[in-house]
């Protein structure tokens, strides 16, 4: 961790933290962790960070994510939310491939992809006619680069309600019309 960047981010406003996340994932990692430690239940200006090993949703089949770790950082600014997903330790066979990833309504439970339920969808939450796109759901598709890393950023005009949810990684890129992305490979639990 870049400690001086972390201190800088912690002192900065949420707006500048988001800018930092675009410039440097390291700065946001450090800053976000310090903010979470200082205010673990605040869901306001600070980024809320979850990190850890990915849970395997298909234990009987090997996938490039079997040894991967991920981090999800959510930053709310008013009614807008920026979500940054970073994945590390992805198998070499996945280099150059793009995978769909989304915030799902349900929990992340190893070996049980169905437990993640459907996508978190803001129009559905509001009881409105359901619209499926990158503005009503948090889509985090990423392409594997370098030494098995992937990163995605989502900006949406809503704040997801608090609950135990999951970020699910799928086998294919997200279809922009249907929002589907093939088999569920792995997930990270998120709660805020």
Minimum CB–partner distance for residue 157 and Cu ion (Å): 20
C-alpha to C-alpha distance for 18 and 140, rounded to whole angstroms: 16
Per-residue tokens: 151:
């990163």
Residue 102 interacts with Cu ion (CB under 5 A): yes or no = yes
Q: Which is nearer to Cu ion, 102 or 122 (CB)?
A: 102
How far apart are CB 182 and Cu ion at their closest, in Å? Answer: 9
| Cα-based distances in Å from 10 to 25, 34, 183 | 14, 6, 38
Least separation in angstroms between residue 125's CB and Cu ion is 16
Report the site for Cu ion in 62-81 (rule: CB under 5 A). none
Under rule CB under 5 A, residue 185 binds Cu ion:
no
Cross-strand partners of 130? none
> Which segment (59-67, 75-83, 85-93, 165-173) binds Cu ion by CB under 5 A?
165-173
Query: Could you tell me the smallest distance in angstroms from the CB atom of residue 119 to Cu ion?
Result: 6
| 3-state SS assignment for residue 58 | coil
User: What is the C-alpha separation between 93 and 66, in angstroms, rounded?
Assistant: 12
Instruction: Choose between 6 and 190: whose C-beta lies nearer to Cu ion.
Output: 190
Q: Is 165 in the site for Cu ion (CB under 5 A)?
A: no
Q: Which residues pair with 51 in a beta bridge?
A: 71
Tokens at 75, concatenated: 């930053």
Q: Can you tell me which of 28, 168, 185, 188 binds Cu ion, judged by CB under 5 A?
A: 168
Q: In whole angstroms, what is the distance from residue 39 CA to residue 42 CA?
A: 6
- In the complex, the residues that contact Cu ion under the rule CB under 5 A are 102, 168
């Amino acid at each position: 961790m870049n400690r001086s960047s972390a201190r800088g981010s912690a002192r900065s406003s949420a707006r500048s933290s988001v800018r930092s996340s675009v410039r440097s994932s390291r700065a946001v990692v450090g800053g976000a962790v310090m903010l979470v430690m200082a205010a673990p239940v605040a869901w306001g200006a600070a980024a809320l960070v979850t990190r850890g090993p990915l849970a395997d949703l298909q234990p009987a089949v090997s996938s490039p994510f079997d040894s991967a770790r991920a981090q999800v950082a959510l930053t709310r600014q008013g009614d807008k939310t920026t979500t940054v997903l970073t994945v590390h330790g992805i198998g070499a066979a996945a280099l150059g491939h793009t995978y769909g990833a989304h915030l799902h309504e349900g929990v992340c439970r190893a070996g049980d992809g169905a437990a993640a339920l459907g996508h978190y969808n803001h129009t559905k939450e509001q009881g409105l006619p359901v619209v499926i796109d990158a503005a009503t759901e948090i889509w985090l598709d990423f392409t594997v680069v370098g030494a098995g890393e992937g990163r995605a950023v989502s900006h949406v005009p809503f704040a997801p309600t608090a609950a135990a949810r999951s970020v699910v990684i799928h086998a294919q890129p997200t279809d922009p019309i249907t929002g589907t992305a093939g088999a569920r490979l792995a997930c990270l639990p998120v709660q805020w």
